[in-house]
Amino acid sequence: MNECKNVPRWEDIQLARKTTKTFELQFDSDGAPVDITGWTIYFTVKEKMNDTDANAKISRTVTTHTEPTNGKTLIELTVSDTDIPAGNYYYSIDSKDDDDNEQVLFYGRVRIIEPVRDYRG
C-alpha cells in the first residue's frame, strides 16, 4: 500500500490485535511526487460501513508527514489502536488536500486476528 491514485482501490488487509503497524503512502502524479504539505490523511476502521465516524473502532488522523514535498507520509497504528476485538471490519484511507478536496484512496475489509504470541505475560 504505497501508491495513491485518483481512483479508490479496494484492498483487504489483516492486522494482528494489540500490535503496531505502519502504512507508508506515496502520492504521485504521472510519476512525479505530489506535494502533500497541508494535507490531512485519515485511517478509519468501522464495524459497519454506515457507522458514524465517532463510533469508529480505529480512527487516526495524520497532519504531519515524513516528506511532504516528496509526497510521503506514514499512518502509524499503536498497540492501543489495534486493541479491538478480533473480527472483520471495514476500513478506508482518505485524504483532504490543502484546498479541502476530499477523496477515498483505499478501502476494503480489515481482519483483526489474535497474534500467535500471547503478549499478556
Whether the pLDDT of residue 85 is over 70: the answer is yes
Which tens digit of pLDDT belongs to each residue from 2-39? Answer: 555 555 789 999 999 999 999 999 999 998 999 999 99
Q: What is the mean pLDDT of residues 102-114?
A: 95
User: Mean per-residue pLDDT for 83-109?
Assistant: 96
CA distance 24 to 70: 13
In whole angstroms, give the CA distance from residue 89 to residue 9.
Answer: 17
pTM of the model: 0.89
Residue 114 CA to residue 92 CA, distance in Å, equals 21
To the nearest whole number, what is the mean pLDDT of the chain? 92
β-bridge pairing 9-10 and 102-113: parallel
Give the mean model confidence (pLDDT) for residues 38-60: 97
Which residues make Cβ contacts (< 8 Å) with residue 1, sequence separation at least 6? 11, 13, 23, 24, 25, 93, 106
pLDDT above 70 coverage of the chain, percent: 92
Question: What fold does the segment set 3-113 form as a domain?
Answer: Immunoglobulin-like (2.60.40)
